[in-house]
């Protein structure tokens, strides 16, 4: 029952995200874009929640690689144990983080940027004609390099010092996962679907304009208006459920964090 309930609530969060995407231009939907039109002053908090989630997922993969690769090597060769570093988890974690670093150093070059420029996570990146670089989403290249460097280095340090995947997933799940799955979708939809929201009013006007377009069938137009009116109570219910999902996510986060701390102290 717990798994079914978790699946239903997570699925509802995904549904709310699809509803929120209607208020944005096609291809531009993201948590950052939604935060800019709903809670622009809290955008940093939302970015932090997503960063925690991504950070935890990266660390989890590194821990899994460090735990599995020594066994894979032993399975391929009985003499692998004679080569100490091949069965050392730290070697494999270091190797894979280096490959991630190499991927991060490659980024698509915009037409307005110099084709000879090679992006790097530790130096000024892809200078334009004026010498000032900016990413398409508004983040400066230097800031992007600093944030990426911090995430990669912290992921590497945690993966090298922590071998318990259970602990990493427990804390990441109780913070990042609950935020992305429950809290953010609920808050975003509750805010953006408010009758006073200009984005909601614009969307409603576009729907009304579609109904007002002459199509030669008056009966279909009347039926569409009737369905639109009948759908108002559904929108009110959906908005209330979105707020309930956000509150539920906060309660789940607090409960999980307290439980994790309690078990960590107890053991």
Predicted confidence (pLDDT) per residue in 103-123, tens digit? 565 555 444 444 433 333 333
Q: Report which of 169, 191, 202 is spatially closest to residue 239, judged by C-alpha positions.
A: 191
In the three-class reduction of DSSP (H, G, I as helix; E, B as strand; rest coil), residue 249 is classed as helix
Which pLDDT belongs to residue 247?
Answer: 95
What's residue 96's pLDDT?
Answer: 83
pLDDT value at residue 114? 42
Q: Which residues of the chain have pLDDT under 50?
A: 109-136, 208-209, 211, 216, 218
User: Does the CA dihedral 122-126-130-135 come out positive or negative?
Assistant: negative
User: Long-range contacts: 144-149, Cβ < 8 Å, 24+?
Assistant: 145/120, 145/121, 147/51, 148/104, 148/121, 149/121, 149/122
Q: Which two tokens stand for residue 17?
A: 């995200």
Q: How big, in percent rounded to 5, are the helix, strand and coil portions of the chain?
A: 75, 0, 25
pLDDT at 254: 93
pLDDT score at 112: 44
Q: What does the pLDDT read at residue 164? A: 80
What's the confidence (pLDDT) of residue 159? 86
- How many helices (H) and strands (E) the chain has is answered by 11, 0
């Amino acid at each position: 029952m717990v798994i079914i309930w978790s699946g239903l609530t997570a699925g509802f969060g995904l549904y709310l995200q699809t509803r929120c995407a209607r208020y944005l231009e096609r291809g531009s939907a993201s948590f950052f874009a939604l935060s800019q039109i709903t809670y622009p002053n809290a955008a940093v908090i939302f970015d932090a929640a997503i960063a925690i989630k991504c950070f935890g997922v990266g660390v989890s993969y590194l821990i899994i690689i460090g735990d599995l690769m020594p066994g894979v090597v032993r399975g391929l060769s009985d003499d692998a144990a004679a080569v100490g570093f091949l069965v050392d988890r730290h070697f494999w974690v270091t190797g894979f983080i280096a490959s991630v670093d190499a991927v991060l150093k490659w980024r698509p070059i915009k037409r307005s940027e110099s084709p000879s420029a090679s992006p790097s996570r530790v130096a000024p990146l892809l200078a334009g004609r004026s010498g000032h670089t900016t990413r398409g989403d508004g983040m400066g290249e230097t800031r992007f390099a600093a944030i990426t460097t911090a995430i990669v280095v912290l992921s590497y340090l945690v993966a090298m010092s922590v071998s318990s995947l259970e602990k990493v997933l427990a804390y990441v799940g109780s913070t990042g996962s609950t935020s992305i799955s429950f809290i953010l979708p609920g808050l975003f939809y509750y805010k953006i679907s408010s009758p006073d929201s200009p984005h909601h009013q614009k969307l409603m006007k576009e729907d009304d304009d579609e109904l007002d377009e002459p199509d030669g069938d008056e009966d279909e137009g009347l039926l569409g208006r009737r369905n639109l009116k009948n759908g108002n109570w559904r929108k009110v219910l959906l908005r209330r459920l979105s707020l309930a999902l956000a509150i539920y996510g906060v309660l789940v986060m607090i409960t999980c964090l307290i439980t994790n701390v309690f078990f960590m102290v107890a053991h």
